[in-house]
Structure 1
Amino acid sequence: MTPHASLRLACALGAALVAVALAGAPAFATPTPTPTSAPTSAAPTASDALTPLVDCVQDAPLGAVTSRTVVLGYWSSASAPVTLTPGSGGDDLSPGAADRGQPSSFLPGEHHGAWLLTVDAAAEPSLIWTLGGRSVTIDASAPACTDATAIVLSAPATTSGTVAVSATVTRFLLGPPEAGTVDFAIDGTAASTAPVGAGGVARADLTAPAGPHTITATFTPASGSTLRPATATAPVTVTPPSGALSVAADSVVAGSTSVTVHVTRTGAAPVTVDFATVDGTAHAGPDYVAASGTLALAAGQAAATTTVSLPARAPGSPASVFFVVLQHATADVSGAVTMVSLPAVPAAAPASAAVGGTGGGGAAGAASALPQGDPTAHTPLASAPVGQDLLLLLAAGLITVGGVAGVIGLFRSVRPRDGLV
């Protein structure tokens, strides 16, 4: 077999061996030691956000050829994925071919086991991987893959002063260790030490005040072990607890065109909650306008409001109610429902009972609020004929000025006529 054929066979066997081993190993999603050269800029550019990492090296002698398999990772301080084209100058291997299948897309955070590289250790005892503005040397000084460890650190955000953290210690080619300890620390303060148990897992409860923090987990192998220590970091935020939410509505009076709904709480943490109207004896459309949405209360905000429109209801509409319900809240809820009461609407007055018309003969006008024939209604006297008025005036004159003498004279003049008849 030629040397080139032997080299190709060795590379293939080495890659297959590592691929099979990694298939049964835990995922390496989070940190081994954070590189001391890692950028600290709050908003790094693609050229300085990336740091290449050599996770481990494993040599496999195959006759005259030594196949070297390298497990590589990276650390990115960028807040979004960074893309670099292999072999373009920013993502290169040297000496030799610059593009050897390295990744081109780099996610934020620390990543291990990102890719494998197999080389002839005798022909290429040392390589340099340049990523962005930083480089790392790949040679036999890297940890052996049977001894290298990594830590998967979990530190979920919390609304209390206690942070429950867990660290899973893994190895690249073998099962996880079940001995040793993990030291947990918040912001570099005194560590809390926990033993590594089944599955390589260690847990601890850490105390921290409200605000953003950095948790560090450091694995220390058991005495006499050939395993290498590892360190991981992860951010965590402790937010002050939010007081329970409650909902209430203003009173509705006759003529109201809307009602205000209030969502209140006593806590200071940001919170969101959905609201929606629900029919009771009142129905969306004729009695109120259906409404729904999301209310957000910022940090320190004690209340938020929304309004529900109220259309003009038909005369004679009875008193009725509908509800406003809270749901999908990001905080506890003490009162999730409030009732909105709508007052009854008076029936329309009959046309014959309206006020403001004129009429005669004691009848109330068309707009009057008084009933027909009401004696208190204003009724003018009917007009009399002109001749009858003149007779009444003459009679009044006879009864008043000299009226008595005139009557006696009238009788004296009539009696002689009667005698003549």
Structure 2
Amino acid sequence: MTPHASLRLACALGAALIAVALAGVPAFASPTPTPTPTPTAASDALTPLVDCVQDAPLGAVTSRTVVLGYRSSASAPVTLTPGSGVDDLSPGAADRGQPSTFQPGEHHGAWLLTVDAAAEPSLTWTLGGRTATIDASAPACTDATAIVLSAPATASGTVAVSASVTRFLLGPPEAGTVAFAVDGVASATAPVGVGGVARADLTALAAGAHTITATFTPASGSTLRPATATAPVTITAASGALAVAADSVVTGSTSVTVHVTRTGASTPATVDFATVDGTAHAGPDYVAASGTLALAAGQATATTTVSLPARAPGSPASVFFVVLQRATADVSGAVAMVSLPAVPVAAPASVVAGGTGGGGAASAASALPQGDPTAHTPVVSAPVGQDLLLLLGAGLITIGGIAGVIGLVRSTRSRDGLL
């Protein structure tokens, strides 16, 4: 060995010893094998699906296109690392571009895989704790179908569902039927129309959790294969219809209470309300109000109040309205009328007796000014003795006057006779 070669070897050994010393592990220790990941509860919710395969001879090579999907019973997305032992293909490369995030529900055509059918006649896709075999026994993509079932997660009363029937490498079929069942009991059948879509309304579903199943049946003579899909739905008891009413208003009321009621109160409901002018106007007759009333599950009544200002004397009877809008439940009575009574004119206070003369003096409580000629002047009674003297005086004056008149007549006649 040359001196230069010996020097290089010594340097390499020294560098290795320094690295070992810094790492704190024995020199030339064998690496610890990486443990194989074990399926978790989330990954156990996954099932791999082989939707179809399609072989295409290309000279000496047969190209195989594989369409794959999955089903997840988890309530949230599940994320796995391809090639980590829980999302692998075998034999050969474990990571071949398969999905890493899996959404809840059933998903077809999630990814495509192309292989050499002669070199890899059979493959296995491991997803969580389940496997699917990819080989020539899978349905041909020209005949395989799949259904995407759309249904609301929760509903009350009628449930509107639709099923979209597809083929993986060709256009959707536009013939055949889709049968809808609830918990395995047939409910409705609809024809497949344009775009491969069938629709139906499912009625009379009892409150609680149910499973809806859609099954595609190809048209007679077709080479297409049937397909099935499921979806969960929870039926809630319908809320009773909402109605609005208002309390009576009496003279002097400063507010009126408005009630929104319903007969069935099993589910929550909300409704907007607003006041609307009638012959009464917001401002002088009532304070405009609006808002949202919420009724919790089991609550049958919700209330609000509308303020009533003091109205001017002489204001006539009038009405305004409270209306319901944008309700989350049926509405049987959307308008309540509030009747405001007439306000009487203020009555004048009693007048205290004043002095003599043409105008009596009004008291401080009188509605009329002092000395008002239109004010009522009561007659002032005099003592009884004084009344008697006045009566006798008047009589004497009257008798004297008559005697004087008689004397005057006689004197005139006597004078005429002398003439």
TM-score range (shorter-chain normalised) is 0.5 to 0.7
| One-letter code aligned to 2:322 | V
| Aligned mate of 2:251, from 233, 254, 274 | 254
Secondary structure of 1:140's partner? coil
Query: Cα distance, 1:200 vs. partner?
Result: 4.4
Higher mean alpha-carbon deviation, 241-250 vs 109-118, is at 241-250
* 1:172 shift after superposition: 1.2
Secondary structure of the 1:118 match is strand
Indicate how the Cα distance of structure 1 residues 218 and 318 shifts in structure 2: closer, same or farther if over 3 A, else same: same
1:227 corresponds in structure 2 to 224
Q: Is residue 65 of structure 2 the alignment partner of residue 66 of structure 1? A: no
* Residue of structure 1 in register with 2:323 after alignment: 325
Per the alignment, residue 137 of structure 1 pairs with: 133
Listed one character per residue, the Cα deviations across residues 216-252 of structure 1 (whole Å, up to 9, x for unaligned) are: 2223445665433211112345555555433211122
- Contact map agreement 1:210 1:237 (CA 8 A) in 2: no
1:274 alignment partner, SS class: strand
2:170 paired with 1:174: yes
Q: Is the 8 A contact 1:317 1:344 kept in 2?
A: yes
Q: How many Å separate the matches in 1 of 2:135 and 2:99?
A: 20
Q: Structure 1 vs Structure 2: percent identity of aligned residues?
A: 87
Judge conservation of contact 1:208–1:238 (CA < 8 Å) in 2: no
The secondary structure found in structure 1 opposite 2:170 is coil
Counterpart Cα distance in 1 of 2:367 and 2:215? 91
Of 90, 95, 102, the residue aligned with 2:98 is: 102
Cα shift readout 1:85-127 (whole Å, capped 9, x = no counterpart): 5455554444554443333443322221122222333444444
Shift of 1:149: 1.0
Q: Residues 27-38 of structure 1 correspond to what in structure 2 (within 5 A)?
A: none
2:48 corresponds to 1:52: yes
Distance 2:332 2:88 in 1: 59
Instruction: Check whether the contact 2:245–2:260 (CA below 8 A) recurs between aligned residues.
Output: yes
SS at match of 1:48: helix
Q: Structure 1 residues 368 and 133, CA, compared in 2 at 3 Å: closer, same or farther?
A: farther
Distance 1:151 1:320, change over 3 A: same
Structure-2 separation of matches of 1:126 and 1:236: 38
Residue type of the alignment partner of 1:48: D
In structure 2, do the counterparts of structure 1 residues 85 and 256 end up closer, same or farther at CA, with 3 Å as the change threshold?
farther
**8 A contact 2:179–2:186 mirrored in 1:** no
Unaligned runs of 5+ in 2: 1-39, 379-419
Task: Count matched residues.
Answer: 330
Amino acid at match of 1:326: L
| Displacement after TM superposition at 1:275 (Å) | 1.4
- What is the deviation of 1:62? 1.8
Which residue in the other structure is 2:117 paired with?
A: 121
Q: Describe the shift of the 1:106–1:257 C-alpha distance in structure 2 as closer, same or farther (beyond 3 A).
A: farther
Q: 1:334 to 1:61 in 2, by over 3 A?
A: same
Q: How big is each residue's C-alpha offset from its partner over 1:154-186, in whole Å with a ceiling of 9 and x where there is no partner?
A: 4567655x6665544322122334555544322
TM-score for the superposition, normalised by structure 1:
0.62
Q: 1:153 aligns with which of 149, 162, 165?
A: 149
Contact 1:50 1:132 in 2 (8 A): yes
Q: TM-score, normalised by structure 2?
A: 0.62
Distance 1:305 1:63, change over 3 A: same
Instruction: Give the greater-gyration-radius structure (CA).
Output: 2
Q: Compared with structure 1, are the counterparts of its residues 103 and 291 closer, same or farther at alpha carbon in structure 2 (3 Å cutoff)?
A: farther
CA distance in 2, matches of 1:125, 1:297: 63
In structure 1, runs of 5+ residues without a counterpart are 1-43, 377-421
Classify the secondary structure of the residue corresponding to 2:257: strand
2:318 is the alignment partner of 1:307: no
TM superposition shift of 1:367: 4.6
| Aligned match of 2:261 | 264
How does 1:209-228 map onto structure 2 within 5 Å?
A: 209-212=205-208, 213-221=210-218, 225-228=222-225
CA spacing shift, 1:347–1:180, aligned 2, 3 Å: closer
Asked whether the 8 Å contact 1:92–1:129 carries over to 2, the reply is yes
| Residues 292, 103 of structure 1: alpha-carbon distance in 2 compared, 3 angstrom cutoff | farther
Shift of 1:69: 1.9
- Counterpart AA for 1:342: L
Would you say the 8 A contact 2:43–2:78 is kept in 1? no
Aligned match of 2:274 = 276
Shift of 1:210: 2.5
1:394: which partner in 2? none
**Distance in 2, Cα, partners of 1:230 & 1:50:** 20
Q: Distance in 2 between matches of 1:299 and 1:371?
A: 65
Question: What do the CA deviations read for 1:280-328 (whole angstroms, capped 9, x no partner)?
Answer: 3444445433332333445565433222233445666554433211122
What is the CA–CA distance in structure 2 between the aligned matches of 1:285 and 1:101, rounded to whole Å? 70
2:147 maps to a residue whose letter is I
Query: CA separation of 1:365/1:205 partners in 2, compared to 1, >3 Å: closer, same or farther?
Result: closer
Residue in 2 that maps onto 1:334: 332
Asked if 2 retains the 8 angstrom alpha-carbon contact of 1:289 and 1:309, the reply is yes
